[in-house]
Amino acid sequence: MTASTVPEVPPGAPEPVGRPAAVFALLSEYASALDKVRASGRTVGFVPTMGALHAGHQALVRRAASECDVVAVSIFVNPLQFGDPDDLERYPRLPDEDVQAAGEAGATFVLMPEVSEMFPSFPAPVPTAVTVSGLADRWEGAARPGHFSGVATVVAKLFAVTGRCRAYFGEKDYQQLAVVRRMAADLSFPVEVVGCTTVRDEDGLALSSRNVRLGAEERRAAAVLPQALAAGARAIAEGEYRPSMVEALMSQVVGEEPAVELDYAVVVDGNDLAPAISLRPDRPLRLLIAAHVGGVRLIDNIDPAAGTRGIPPPRRSVTYSATPINPTQPVMVHRSRPGPAPADDPTKGK
Ligand code: AMP
């Protein structure tokens, strides 16, 4: 379907399920279709993605469809946010399946522009870029220089053409969500940024377009990431008050899997993502983790106060003796109890 087939969506018309009403390649046509939607008094929900849509993306689209009259999904593999050309090259691209998946979840419009439409000068440097300092410099920003500037630049451009809307982002990319919120507020975009819960596989691994690149053994080993986060959350729920001990525990859990190379496992302030100084319950906290599994870089995070929902209990009983960073502190012994019994989960209901 092309932009020339764009139908007028009459006010009150039922939202299409199964296929979007229109797929746009041109920003101008997409922008004017959304202007017409708003002119008819309806609200717009926007879900930006890089495609290879999975149930996590579809959950964002469903949430948008439940809260907005018309949902637009963008599918664009943004070259500005990839430092490694091989990573960009290998990123999965499934346009036909994506249009179908977006429509099934409730998308009305899909924007699928070419790189030349988004960034005409590319691969020469794009002259105008958006940077968010501070927030974007830590963790993923430090590991992937230029990444968040690429994200902020493409999201700013997508917000500009989408116009007034509610925009749905996954908490799965927690730092990205924080950067986008900051950028939207600082540049006064008429966009309300909405964070959505991470969708996980049965073993707790967060769904990601990159998971398809994991071999069978790597895929099995990758489940240690949510296990490490859950162990950290349990330790906090059991009264651990030292961030360094929680971090040592998380890295010990990851150390159980030789196939997984930890990049960072940290406790941060949930607002500014600075390293947490204390684990006071009145402060919002986030546990962040990043690791390489085979050639694939995976990230995940949880809010320890929200418990370990979606992450199954560990399969076997392991006792971790975390070595504190400050050797004058006592060694913490934490028992990771085996399943079943979510009822035994000390974080349940918190
Ligand atoms: P991406 O296509 O990876 O750029 O992701 C597009 C949007 O989907 C971002 O807001 C992501 O945070 C979100 N997302 C990706 N994976 C998940 C997941 N497992 N659960 C919820 N949201 C997700």
Rounded to 10°, the helix 95-105/55-67 angle is: 40
The encoded tokens of residue 231 equal 């162990």
Those residues with Cβ within 8 angstroms of residue 43's Cβ, 6 or more apart along the chain or in another chain = 68, 69, 70, 165, 166
User: Where do the DSSP E strands lie in the chain?
Assistant: 22-24, 44-49, 70-75, 109-111, 165-170, 191-196, 260-269, 285-293, 296-302, 318-322, 332-336
For the segment 191-224, what is each residue's pLDDT rounded down to a tens digit?
999 999 999 999 999 999 999 999 999 999 999 9
Q: Where are the domains of the chain?
A: 3-196, 214-344
pLDDT of residue 118: 98
Residue 7 confidence (pLDDT) above 90: no
Nearest CA owner, ligand 1 atom 7: 49
Q: Which helix (H) or strand (E) holds 86?
A: helix 85-90
**Ligand 1 centroid distance, CA of 176 (Å):** 10
Fold type of domain 214-344: Pantoate--beta-alanine Ligase; Chain: A,domain 2 (3.30.1300)
% helix, strand, coil for the chain, step of 5 = 40, 20, 40
For the segment 34-85, what is each residue's pLDDT rounded down to a tens digit?
999 999 999 999 999 999 999 999 999 999 999 999 999 999 999 999 999 9
**Which of the pair, 325 or 102, is modelled with greater confidence?**
102
- Alpha carbon 43 to chain centroid, angstroms: 24
Assess whether 57 carries a catalytic annotation. yes
- Asked whether 49 lines ligand 1 (CB < 6 A), one says yes
**Which of the pair, 172 or 19, is modelled with greater confidence?**
172
- Asked whether 207 lines ligand 1 (CB < 6 A), one says yes
Contact 20, 30 (CB under 8 A): no
Q: Considering only the top CATH level, what class is 3-196?
A: alpha beta
Residue 330 confidence (pLDDT) above 50: no
The encoded tokens of residue 343 equal 């009822």
Q: Which atom of ligand 1 is nearest to the CA of 169?
A: 10
Which three-class secondary structure string do you get for 123-189?
Answer: CCCCCCCCCCCCHHHCHHHHHCCCHHHHHHHHHHHHHHHHCCEEEEEEHHHHHHHHHHHHHHHHCCC
pTM of the model: 0.89
pLDDT of residue 1: 38
Check for a shared fold between 3-196 and 214-344. Answer: no
- Asked whether 126 lines ligand 1 (CB < 6 A), one says no
Q: Single out the catalytic residue among 54, 57, 147, 334.
A: 57
For the segment 20-33, what is each residue's pLDDT rounded down to a tens digit?
889 999 999 999 99
Beta bridge partners of 161: none
Distance CA(113)–CA(186), nearest Å, equals 26
Those residues with Cβ within 8 angstroms of residue 221's Cβ, 6 or more apart along the chain or in another chain = 257, 259, 260, 293
Q: Which atom of ligand 1 is nearest to the CA of 168?
A: 10
Residue 165 confidence (pLDDT) above 90: yes
Contact 316, 228 (CB under 8 A): no
Distance CA(303)–CA(236), nearest Å, equals 11
Distance CA(18)–CA(54), nearest Å, equals 15
Average pLDDT, the chain: 88
**Ligand 1 centroid distance, CA of 49 (Å):** 7
